[in-house]
């Protein structure tokens, strides 16, 4: 289930950013925008903005 949610979130962010521009002069400009979005998301995840925390915490009884 996790991989699907991450992909859906990624697709949603790309769709949101490309919807703002609506009209691209050529395919290269669309690819540049999508690449920039992907780089931004990757940097956020690498710098500590955690999308999904998979650590298990122990609860004290």
pLDDT at 35: 93
Model confidence, pTM? 0.61
- 13-42: b (≥16 Cβ within 10 Å) or e: eeeeeeeeeeeeeeeeeeeebeeebeeebe
Domain containing 10: what range?
2-46
Number of domains in the chain: 1
Q: Is residue 58 part of a domain?
A: no
Q: Is residue 19 part of a domain?
A: yes
pLDDT per residue as tens, the chain (61 positions) = 556 788 888 889 889 988 887 788 899 998 998 999 889 888 877 776 555 666 766 665 5
Q: Is residue 18 part of a domain?
A: yes
pLDDT at 41: 83
Q: Is residue 35 part of a domain?
A: yes
pLDDT at 28: 93
Q: Is residue 16 part of a domain?
A: yes
pLDDT at 55: 72
* Residue 58 DSSP SS3: coil
* CA 16/CA 32 separation, integer angstroms: 15
Q: Is residue 23 part of a domain?
A: yes
């Amino acid at each position: 289930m996790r991989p699907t949610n991450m992909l859906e979130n990624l697709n949603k962010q790309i769709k949101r950013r490309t919807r703002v521009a609506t009209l691209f002069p050529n395919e290269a400009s669309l690819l540049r925008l999508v690449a920039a979005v992907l780089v931004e998301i990757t940097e956020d995840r690498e710098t500590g903005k955690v999308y999904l925390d998979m650590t298990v915490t122990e609860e004290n009884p």
